[in-house]
Amino acid sequence: MQESLLVLLRCPVTKSDLQLQVIARGHKQYNGVQQEVIEEGILFAGEDWFYPVIKGIPRLIVEAYADYEPFLRQHIPDYDQRRQRLENKYHGFMRYVIKKNRRTKQSFAQEWRLFDYGKDKTWDADPAGMFQRFLDETAETRASLAGNLIFDAGCGNGLLNQSIAQHGATILGMDFSLSIEEAYRQNSQPNALFIQGDVQYPPVAFEQFDIVHCSGVLIHTNNPELSFSCLDPHVKPGGKLSVWLYHPRQDFIHNLFNFIRRFTSRLPLRLQYYLYGVTLLPVSYIIKRIKGNKQNIREMMIDILDWFTPEFRHQFEQQEAATWYYKRIYAGVTTTTVNLFGYNMVGIKQKVPSR
């Protein structure tokens, strides 16, 4: 973690500023130059909330006090008392968040664990292709990105963030699962920053970002419009909110797979991995090779896991998604890209007149 990141961060629950207690400093190489970073620390917030910095990454999820108990217990002498105060005050809230998040964190950690940074493409695109897809989705150009502050809510493997940073923007990448660790480790750009966080409780300041981009994430939450509304406050007036969503398809195989996953997605994740590996993967391999698709085995398996293992997988018509923008005073609402599985939509946030 670079200490300069602190000005963008807030408690995901109270939105209060965070006070950093540094435990360990280290060095990370950016563009061939060693820079000092914070490897370990504690971030303290109002109303008794506290969050760890581990492996250089702020862990700003609501349930961090429980997920990272060994680390926190080691470094906070009164950890038990602090945890008890939180659980007494927020008992029902804690239970809700832990229950809604557990499966999603595990499924996406398993998915991205397969990714090979040296060999694999991300959704059939190399870094240059990913960057061009981002420009198309957000209706931006290479020149227009320079100097922008961008929030990528659901950054996955983090490779896109490096490409964006190389073109002069500062980009904060957030992901829910432990895949954020490898995204941070692989990063070589000083203006590509990474945190662990939840799209329904974004741990960032209000009205800070020129672009908030959320690609293929809202559809895997328990309430996509609620998740959309949680991102909205972080867009600057005049800034852009960009989301990629699945659309319904009139396709027998597609709808059959969605029907099957309603049942198989409830199975233990490791069992699903082996089940799909001996059933769907061989069929997918044969069909894709016949069609001339050059995906390798890992890329195919990531595609399968992304479809079948998430607890939630929602689809929306474009007209419905557009209403999310209109209800929150966005103008210029446009569908920028459409492909076989979904579409990207953007809108420009309007300044609400004071009353």
Residue 323 lies in a domain: yes
Domain that holds residue 67: 3-89
Same domain, 165 and 71: no
Residue 287 lies in a domain: no
Note the pLDDT of residue 355.
63
User: pLDDT (tens digit, 9 = 90+) per residue, 119-132?
Assistant: 999 999 999 999 99
Residue 274 lies in a domain: no
Is pLDDT of 327 > 70?
A: yes
| Rounded Cα distance, 74 and 71, in Å | 5
> Within a 13 Å sphere around the CA of 3, how many CA atoms are in the beta-carbon half?
13
Same domain, 160 and 232: yes
User: pLDDT (tens digit, 9 = 90+) per residue, 37-93?
Assistant: 999 999 999 889 999 999 999 999 999 999 999 999 999 999 999 999 999 999 999
Examine the fold and report which residue of 43, 66, 89 is the final residue of a domain before the chain moves on: 89
| Rounded Cα distance, 310 and 305, in Å | 8
Domain count along the chain: 2
pLDDT band at 352 (very low <50, low <70, confident <90, very high): confident
Tell me the H-state helices in 78-158: 79-89, 91-113, 127-138, 142-145
Residue 305 lies in a domain: no
Residue 299 lies in a domain: no
Q: What residue type is 121 in one-letter code? A: K
Examine the fold and report which residue of 30, 65, 89 is the final residue of a domain before the chain moves on: 89
Identify the residue whose tokens are 């080691």.
74
Is pLDDT of 354 > 80?
A: no
User: pLDDT (tens digit, 9 = 90+) per residue, 288-303?
Assistant: 999 999 899 999 999 9
Same domain, 84 and 13: yes
Examine the fold and report which residue of 62, 89, 116 is the final residue of a domain before the chain moves on: 89
Instruction: Give the CATH number of the domain where residue 240 resides.
Output: 3.40.50.150
Cβ(308)–Cβ(299) below 8 Å = no
Same domain, 14 and 71: yes
How much is the mean pLDDT over the chain? 95
| Cα dihedral sign, 69-58-216-178 | negative
| Rounded Cα distance, 208 and 185, in Å | 26
What Å distances lie between residue 192 and 159, 160, 165, 187, CA to CA? Answer: 10, 10, 6, 7
Same domain, 202 and 320: yes
Reading the block at residue 43, the tokens are: 């971030």
Same domain, 133 and 84: no
| Rounded Cα distance, 155 and 215, in Å | 8
Same domain, 185 and 333: yes
Same domain, 85 and 38: yes
Same domain, 328 and 197: yes
Same domain, 168 and 238: yes
Residue 120 lies in a domain: no
Same domain, 171 and 218: yes
Closest to 110 (Cα-Cα) out of 294, 259, 260, 268: 268
Q: What residue type is 124 in one-letter code? A: D
Residue 329 lies in a domain: yes
User: pLDDT (tens digit, 9 = 90+) per residue, 170-209?
Assistant: 999 999 999 999 999 999 999 999 999 999 999 999 999 9
